[in-house]
Chain A
Amino acid sequence: QVQLVQSGAEVKKPGASVKVSCRAFGYTFTDYYINWVRQAPGQGLEWMGRINPNTGGTNFAQKFQARVTLTRDASVSTSYMEMSRLRSDDTAVYYCARDRGYFYDSRGYHARWYFDLWGRGSLVTVFS
């Protein structure tokens, strides 16, 4: 079954780090980018950044550039989001979601700039 399975809930103290995982099942892991999107309680969705599982290349929304690291382990089809120097306002559900971006095949150039598969989310609570 095609799905993204995320790690469980975490409770952290301010100043600590957290690492959330997102494992892909049912498709070729390196064919799709993995994005990270967060949602604070009662708030909207916020795009954080994205990793190319094939090359490891990343790009970020500016506000997350300094504190977030995205990595991947293709051998287990898993992407990781690590956030450092946690604050209380980092309390949120963190989602991973895939997109295909742009790619070439025998029929030419294609663009798939949307999230067609989401994980269920991982709740991170920052609490002193």
Chain B
Amino acid sequence: QSALTQPASVSGSPGQSITISCTGTSSDVGAYKYVSWYQQHPGKAPKLIIYDVTKRPSGVSDRFSGSKSANTASLTISGLQAEDEADYYCTSYSSSPTYVFGTGTRVTVL
């Protein structure tokens, strides 16, 4: 099964909002409400920032928000900050295999 498609890079200035897309198929993103997003800083393990398309774990800034329409999920970062510079990955539950990851997006704060 192919990876979910994300833009390779997105950039923005401090205080701006950016959106990262995650496009799958009717067998994964389009079929289930189980899309999650992970933030990964260099040399670190990924960290869960969004689950079940729109939910934030305790302790995650409300500047992060998620949504979904048809086969595409999106992550929006509002009020961009220097600490948001990282790689971001989406993943979706899938009937087979169990999970599929996105290709990853590098966020640069200008």
Contact = CB atoms under 8 A, between A and B. Distances in A.
Interface of A: 35, 37, 44-47, 50, 59-62, 95, 97, 111-116, 118-121
A44 B46 CA distance: 11
Interface string B30-41: 001010101010
Contacts of B45: 95, 118-121
A41 B19 CA distance: 26
A46 B95 CA distance: 16
Given A44-B104, A45-B89, A111 B97 contact: no
Interface of B: 1, 3, 32, 34, 36, 38, 40, 45-48, 51-52, 57, 89, 91, 93, 97-104
Given A113-B32, A113-B36, A59 B97 contact: yes
B22 to A, nearest CB: 12
Contacts of B40: 45
Nearest to A119: B45
A35 B89 contact: no
A61 B97 CA distance: 5
A61 B28 CA distance: 14
Contacts of A114: 34, 36, 48, 51-52, 91
